[in-house]
Structure 1
Amino acid sequence: MTASKISDVSFVTDFVSKYQKGMEMSYTLDGNSRVSEFNQKMSSVSILLFHRDLEQFLLVRQFRPAIFTASISNSPENHGKEFDKIDWSSYDSETGYTIELCAGLIDKEGLSPREIASEEVAEECGYRVDPDDLIHVITFVVGAHQSGSAQHLYYAEIDESMKISEGGGNVHEGEVITKVYYPVNVAREIARPAIGTHAEVKGPPGVLFAFQWWFLVLDPKKKGLIATPPTGYQWQPHNVKTISNVKFNTDFDKKKYGYNPKRMIFTINGITRNWDLALCPNTATCILVDMVKKELIFLQKLRAPVFVGKNRFLKENIGKPLDEIDFSNSDPKIAYTLELVVNRVPDFDDPRKFARISVKQLGYDLPEDSFKLQAKCIPGIGQSGDTQSIFAVDVSKARLCEKEEDEDIEELRVSFADLPSLYRQHNIGPPTTYYAIGFALDQLLERDTL
């Protein structure tokens, strides 16, 4: 596909955004004062669509300013430059295009996530899907380190009798969306890459998980362990601490946390648009398995932003300003997530090296070549523009070393036998948490190797 050139690019830092609102969050944790960053964002929906007539998945292609900006500004020739010194129009806008699930923000008052998902399918893809016909697959925690927002993933099957338009998004908001069809065999290569290869999607990790889920749960040819009766295992946080005295301050030192918001103004496809950015560094994450004990290893993390984010989206708090929400009676367990080990990756450096560093900090020393790349994706399609490399490693082969203690992080091992139950539990962590579960079930248990 031919991409249009981008032009008339400029950035402003003095703006008010309905899509993000950075603030310093202070709170008391078990009697001790804490301060961290919170970025108020909207939750969202995404929808995996399968076209029955074509026997293909329907995804969408669209321009994402954050990805374009992050990619160009981090290129060797622009590294360290101020944004107004970069010749943005000399770069191919294809850099900023993604392939992702049909999706949208939960920003319509009075509509449920399911109803918003139905509207997004009609608007972006041109098919009428009744809200009641959407299968709720899972709800993720997204932005656990900053916002604690949620994304609700749905699944629907469509055919030509349901077509109402050509789709294409909301042109009045500057959306230019193209439909893209993925055959089942292409999706399978993403969900279940062959040994020695890795999946790569120019889109969010939800795409990785959605395809994986389809092949594990819905594919009639698949007879995997996910279809066996679950054990009844349910994760509940251990050693829970109490959060109280939650307060917010919007007048804070943004450099302290690396939060550096910008509003990008640009013209593409003849339409001038605004887009609010808060760029973040790239990351490397790692799926930790113990192939001897048959366990998948997570990190239970205390996330103050998740505590706030989950409270924001309780029915009684919808639409309330943060200072009007009573956090004092909230269940402290909602502040906890299950996540993979993760590390920031400096520009132009090897992600594998930083995956190894983060695993060693947990007390497992392994050679760099034992970290197998499984997937690449872009978590920050909307505002942060960051990319992520996902590795996997067998810690049963590790040399044990000194562990760096963190009172907010606890290692949790889950038996492979309990993973089908955990795979069905909502809101336990980000999409990569669920992707790791599926990876262990589908790839490791069938092949018994890493």
Structure 2
Amino acid sequence: MTSSPKISDVSFISDFVSKYQKGMEMTYTIDGKSRECEFNKKMGSVAIILFHKGLNKFLLVRQFRPAVFVGHVSRLPENEGKDFNEIDWNNYDPELGFTIELCAGLIDKEGLTPAEIASEEVAEECGYRVDPEDLLHICTFIVGAHQSGSLQYLYYIEVDESMKISEGGGNVHDGEVITKVFLTREEALAIARPETHAVVKGPPGVLFAMQWWFFILNPDRKGLIASPPSDYKFIPHNPKPISDFQFTTDFDKKKYGYNPKRMTFTMYGITRSWDLALCPDTATCIMVDMTKRQLILLQKLRPPVFIGKCRAMEENAGKSLDEIDFSSYDANLAYTLEPAVTKVPQHDDPRKFIRIAVKHLGYDLPESDFQLKGKCIPGIGQSGDTQFIYAVDVSKARICEKEEDEDVEEVRIGFNDLASLYTQHRLGAPTTYYAMGFVLDQLLERHTL
């Protein structure tokens, strides 16, 4: 393992203007009722699964993520309640902030398609020249459905040494120091199908990527491609008209817990700044009914997703929010499919809180029924949060009273329809698709949970 450098000269400010995030209060009208929520304007992104044919290994990248470091250190018991500038950051090992992730980058270059940006990122971070047309587009995810609705485009490409143009390492002008990491098939398979649960010090896209490669890419293996597709397609049920979007940056940040900070620090002899907006940890749950052979997801109304999808339309490239005619787009864009998810208070047991969240959906189960399947870091860029992924069979549950929410509706998808659902883009977060793959691989393979 590469040794960690020292970190020094750490400081924070709260009054700054960022090109990477812009917190706003968003008001809108739905079904004739006025509402408001937080909206954080962020850029979309790309990520690339790289497989080195010559080495027969997966190529990932290792880099320091300030949000992960700050999120971890600030949540330690000795730092609870402290202002960030009161914490002695030099006393903590920077290794806490290093992640292993897919080659990735922001969609921040005008005039380039996501595939072209992905091609540039592979050259910049990993040192291989790939043609954008050779990139296989796997899926488009929704990232930050609760506040930004940004999109991430995921691609796959195989490389070998004949395509090598440099050692990679990232953009030195931006202070990036990126190290390549190679995973053997055995190491990757341990992520895709762990004996107990997978721990990934990186985003959920890594979990999804390994699952996809082993159980979906190759039709000779048992997986989604090998499953005959049905004609199933998710269409939001009873979508409500949504209109009158307005945005303001003049809002009470404490109302939504929005607490952005700009961090300045020195590492590798380079002084850099990084914009953060930390979020609490979460727990999510893959709910299945093994008796009826159904995966249970939640249809959720997500106004930030509506905005994010509209912003990503080709005709809106380069436009400000005020220049986009949101009223001309279908209300269906505002809906996602997601596993159950809940916030986890600092230092608390995530299993306890995901059990409560599932009980609010009408299924009462003991904590022991919730099996941990994965742990990852969704917010590597700015939020620094950790997510715990559980699975549970609700056919064993005691049915109890639901907590009514007009913006949430249960959707049951038969196992036989998941192969078709998987091919739909922009349904939800990577964990939405990971849940489908989990069912089709692990549950259909083992017939139990």
Provide Cα deviations, 1:74-117, integer angstroms capped at 9, x if missing partner: 00110111111100011000000000000000000100000000
The answer as to whether partners of 1:5 and 1:91 remain within 8 angstroms in 2 is no
**Alignment partner of 2:328: what SS?**
coil
Who is 1:33 aligned against? 34
Supply the AA of the counterpart residue of 2:448: T
The answer as to whether partners of 1:226 and 1:441 remain within 8 angstroms in 2 is no
Who is 2:435 aligned against? 436
Supply the AA of the counterpart residue of 1:95: L
Who is 2:202 aligned against? 203
Provide Cα deviations, 1:164-215, integer angstroms capped at 9, x if missing partner: 0000000110000000000011111101112xx1001000001110110111
Who is 1:47 aligned against? 48
**Alignment partner of 2:437: what SS?**
helix
Cα deviation, residue 226, structure 1: 3.8
Distance 1:321 1:284, change over 3 A: same
Who is 1:394 aligned against? 393
Who is 1:97 aligned against? 98
Cα deviation, residue 216, structure 1: 1.3
- Shifted more, 122-131 versus 319-328: the winner is 319-328
Who is 1:181 aligned against? 182
Cα deviation, residue 434, structure 1: 0.2
**Alignment partner of 1:227: what SS?**
coil
Provide Cα deviations, 1:120-172, integer angstroms capped at 9, x if missing partner: 00000000010011000000011100010100000000000000000000011
Distance 1:272 1:237, change over 3 A: same
**Alignment partner of 2:305: what SS?**
helix
Supply the AA of the counterpart residue of 1:211: M
1:93, 1:221 → 2: CA distance? Answer: 43
Provide Cα deviations, 1:28-54, integer angstroms capped at 9, x if missing partner: 001000000000000000000000000
Cα deviation, residue 14, structure 1: 0.8
**Alignment partner of 2:327: what SS?**
coil
Distance 1:217 1:146, change over 3 A: same
Supply the AA of the counterpart residue of 2:182: Y
Provide Cα deviations, 1:286-345, integer angstroms capped at 9, x if missing partner: 000000000000000000000111111111111111111111111000000000111111
TM-score when scaled to structure 1? 0.99
Who is 1:242 aligned against? 241
1:279, 1:224 → 2: CA distance? Answer: 36
Who is 2:128 aligned against? 127
1:315, 1:446 → 2: CA distance? Answer: 41
Who is 1:340 aligned against? 339
Gaps of 5+ in 1: none
Supply the AA of the counterpart residue of 1:75: L
The answer as to whether partners of 2:224 and 2:437 remain within 8 angstroms in 1 is no
**Alignment partner of 2:379: what SS?**
coil
1:150, 1:408 → 2: CA distance? Answer: 21
Who is 2:12 aligned against? 11
Who is 1:355 aligned against? 354
Distance 1:27 1:199, change over 3 A: same
Over the aligned positions, Cα root-mean-square deviation in angstroms equals: 0.8
2:99, 2:374 → 1: CA distance? Answer: 16
**Alignment partner of 1:328: what SS?**
helix
Supply the AA of the counterpart residue of 2:282: T
Supply the AA of the counterpart residue of 1:267: T
Who is 1:272 aligned against? 271
The answer as to whether partners of 2:216 and 2:224 remain within 8 angstroms in 1 is no
2:101, 2:220 → 1: CA distance? Answer: 25
Cα deviation, residue 221, structure 1: 5.7
Distance 1:324 1:224, change over 3 A: closer
**Alignment partner of 1:132: what SS?**
helix
Who is 1:59 aligned against? 60
1:268, 1:213 → 2: CA distance? Answer: 35
Who is 1:305 aligned against? 304
Cα deviation, residue 222, structure 1: 1.8
Runs of 4+ in structure 1 deviating by more than 3 angstroms, as ranges, are none
Cα deviation, residue 5, structure 1: 1.1
**Alignment partner of 1:263: what SS?**
strand
1:430, 1:392 → 2: CA distance? Answer: 17
Supply the AA of the counterpart residue of 2:281: N
Supply the AA of the counterpart residue of 1:380: G
Who is 1:172 aligned against? 173
1:141, 1:29 → 2: CA distance? Answer: 21
1:111, 1:319 → 2: CA distance? Answer: 12
1:262, 1:269 → 2: CA distance? Answer: 22
**Alignment partner of 2:353: what SS?**
helix
The answer as to whether partners of 1:55 and 1:184 remain within 8 angstroms in 2 is yes
Supply the AA of the counterpart residue of 2:431: T
Supply the AA of the counterpart residue of 1:3: S
Who is 1:420 aligned against? 419
Provide Cα deviations, 1:353-397, integer angstroms capped at 9, x if missing partner: 011010000000000000000000000000000000000000000
1:149, 1:83 → 2: CA distance? Answer: 28
**Alignment partner of 2:123: what SS?**
helix
The answer as to whether partners of 1:22 and 1:37 remain within 8 angstroms in 2 is yes
1:338, 1:38 → 2: CA distance? Answer: 19
**Alignment partner of 2:420: what SS?**
helix
Cα deviation, residue 278, structure 1: 0.2
**Alignment partner of 2:55: what SS?**
coil
Cα deviation, residue 223, structure 1: 2.6
1:239, 1:99 → 2: CA distance? Answer: 41
- Shifted more, 225-234 versus 75-84: the winner is 225-234
The answer as to whether partners of 1:24 and 1:36 remain within 8 angstroms in 2 is yes
